[in-house]
Chain A
Amino acid sequence: QKEVEQNSGPLSVPEGAIASLNCTYSDRGSQSFFWYRQYSGKSPELIMSIYSNGDKEDGRFTAQLNKASQYVSLLIRDSQPSDSATYLCAVISGGYQKVTFGIGTKLQVIP
């Protein structure tokens, strides 16, 4: 079992819709959770961080964390074509505070 799992996609949504991206992790002791966006040919860019159970909203983005179920999700409201990218889930866990990334979900927003 991979430590951080994501569906690689592609996930296609129409412009203006809500895109829902999911991530599960295996280490119950994981402490910090991040979502990165990566455009083709570019480096990953942090868009959200979440540390406690519940929802965290930032503009059109909402991160959700459920530690009991070991999943993290990212909702993108009013999706725009410019949101088309690969979204990487990252989890910090372990005594060394190691960061593990998921494979990433490719999102396509169709105009």
Chain B
Amino acid sequence: DAGVIQSPRHEVTEMGQEVTLRCKPISGHNSLFWYRQTMMRGLELLIYFNNNVPIDDSGMPEDRFSAKMPNASFSTLKIQPSEPRDSAVYFCASRLDRLYEQYFGPGTRLTVT
């Protein structure tokens, strides 16, 4: 299996621009997670999908952030407009069942100038 796939791996953009991060979970996994990691705050859960339905989006910082999962093999995280404080590494992870371990993608390093 190819594992969780994320794109792009690096993104540099200017403040105010729209940013779209993409994720392909492991085939057969029914849960998908988006995380943000910074030195100060560690790994923060942004949103969690189960069977393509958003279950918990309480970690989404504000309305500038949105996430979709149109089908079982694809998800996007969009930031519009982006701000310098959004600079972080964004990870996508997937899991087979509710109590099982998650598998992480390689992450997208976002820099907003």
Using a CB–CB cutoff of 8 Å, the interface residues on chain A facing chain B are 31-32, 34, 42-46, 49, 51, 88, 90, 92, 96-104
Contact = CB atoms under 8 A, between A and B. Distances in A.
B56 A96 contact: yes
A104 B43 CA distance: 9
A100 B45 contact: yes
Contacts of B91: 43-44
Contacts of B42: 101-104
Contacts, number: 46
Interface of B: 33, 35, 42-43, 45, 48, 55-56, 91, 98-107
Give the top 9 A-B pairs by smallest Cβ distance, nearest first.
A97-B98, A43-B104, A103-B42, A101-B43, A32-B99, A46-B101, A96-B56, A44-B104, A96-B55
State the majority secondary structure of interface residues on A: strand
A101 B103 CA distance: 14
B55 A49 contact: no
B99 A51 contact: yes
Given A98-B45, A100-B45, A103-B42, 6 more contacts: A42-B106, A43-B91, A49-B100, A90-B102, A99-B33, A104-B42
